Amino acid sequence: MIRSILMTTLALTLGASCSAQKGGWIKLFNGKDLKDWDIKITGHALNDNNGNTFRVKDGALAVSYENYDAFNDQYGHIFHKKKFSAYLLVMEYRFVGDQVKGGPGWATRNSGAMIHSQSATSMGKDQDFPISIEVQLLGGLGRGKRSTANLCTPGTNVVMDGKLITAHCIDSKSETYDGDRWVRAEVLVLGDSIVKHIVEGDTVLTYEKPQIGGGSVSHADPKLQQSGKLLSEGYIALQSESHPVEYRKVDLFDLAPYMKDKKKLAKKIEELQKRKQ
């Protein structure tokens, strides 16, 4: 038992410190810099970080608009450079400050994490959103219910309860999180099969068979819009949609090595869900 605990601890430590390792924990955001990320903002060339939108501030990955005169539909995304297929993504985020001038009303306290996304390099200069599955992150407005870890589908569709879902956004059953508190959101992704959204330990949304299809993406390469193609892997990206947001944790446990053995996979997922990290 002691040896097992030591080996598990060692695996977690190595996974957190080395992004090249297969399996284990990976710190997508290292708390220091953005060297493992690519940036694509609408109307700008790849890695033109217009207005220093994406930056590291006090150990957090911050999305800021201090240098913007107005938003002008400059939707942005910061993509981790490594592609993943099966994993548990863990994010701790919060909304801060005020929305930049010119941001659309629906984008107030609104951001998101894109999974199974096309790469930053494959986006057109004027493309607004990547073809991907969006885990929509919303902050409360101080009144009424506003769930987080919702599902949005830029250029994609999913299946729920055996039915193809073509609606652009589906609300989760999460609580509402007002103010600037940190919220923990997790996403369990198993290739092109099951995807689960988890908020503060509770599963709030489940779907399967993420696939290309639908609209809500402009100026994308038509060659990439292969309707019905299942998405078994892709990139992870964080949005800039006009409201400042910060991430103090963006970690991932790589489940790809467990996918060929259902028993080992189920055991590892159970361990991850019971952990306190």
State residue 23's pLDDT score: 62
CATH class of the region 43-274: mainly beta
The C-alpha torsion from 193 through 199 and 205 to 209, rounded to 10°, is -20
Q: What is the pTM of this model?
A: 0.90
Span 29-36, average pLDDT:
97
Radius of gyration of the chain (CA): 18
In percent, the amount of the chain with pLDDT more than 70 equals 91
Backbone angles phi, psi at 224, to 5 degrees: -90, -15
Q: Could you tell me whether strands 202-212 and 169-170 are parallel, antiparallel, or unpaired per DSSP bridges?
A: unpaired
Q: How many CB atoms lie within 10 A of CB 25?
A: 22
Burial 239-276 (b: 16+ CB within 10 A, else e): bbbbbbbbbbbbbbbbbeebeeeeeebeebbeebeeee
Q: What is the pLDDT of residues 218-277, one digit of tens each?
A: 999 999 999 999 999 999 999 999 999 999 999 999 999 999 999 999 999 999 988 755
14 pLDDT exceeds 60? Answer: no
How far is the C-alpha of 90 from the C-alpha of 12, rounded, in Å?
Answer: 14
Tell the burial category of 119 from Cβ atoms under 10 Å away from its Cβ (0-12, 13-18, 19+).
middle
How far is the C-alpha of 96 from the C-alpha of 238, rounded, in Å?
Answer: 16
Tokens of 80: 């981790």
